[in-house]
Amino acid sequence: MESSYSPVAWVFREVIQEEQAKKTEGQVCYFGNGKEIRSSSGLINDMKDLPKEGIFISMSDESTIRIDRIITLFGKPGAAFDEYDAYGNACMDCMGGYEKEDLENM
């Protein structure tokens, strides 16, 4: 299931425009459906704002990526990098089924 579009800071749009202008070729890692990690390689062809859907980039490998779901863009952190980092560290926040008092008494 697709999540709703989250507004993206201008800095991420500027990075995309800069890489597009430089004709940089590279890899984009992003969240697909849900927490599925996907990647795309190539050049950024364009960036389009689709009303009620979000802002998307199209890649030379014919991928279309919503920019608020980008984890890394050519090795640079994207708008979803913090979400990815939190997702990766989620288990470090849990207590493995124990209560705080149980861990203190061990």
CATH for 55? 2.30.30
Question: Per the domain annotation, does 96 fall within a domain?
Answer: yes
Nearest Cα to Cα of residue 25 among 8, 45, 49: 45
Residue 1 has pLDDT above 50, yes or no: no
| Residue 4 domain flag | no
Give the range of the structural domain holding residue 60, as residue numbers without chain letter. Answer: 10-104
Is position 26 within any domain?
Answer: yes
Closest Cα partner for 32 from 63, 74, 59?
A: 63
Q: Do the domain assignments include residue 85?
A: yes
Residue 41 falls inside a structural domain:
yes
Residue 4's pLDDT band, with cuts at 50, 70 and 90, is confident
Specify if 61 maps to a domain: yes
End-to-end CA distance of the chain: 42
Domain count, the chain: 1
pLDDT digits (tens, 9 = 90+) for 69-93: 999 999 999 999 888 876 665 555 5
pLDDT in tens, 22-77: 998 999 999 998 788 999 999 999 999 999 899 999 999 999 999 999 999 999 99
In a domain, 1, yes or no: no
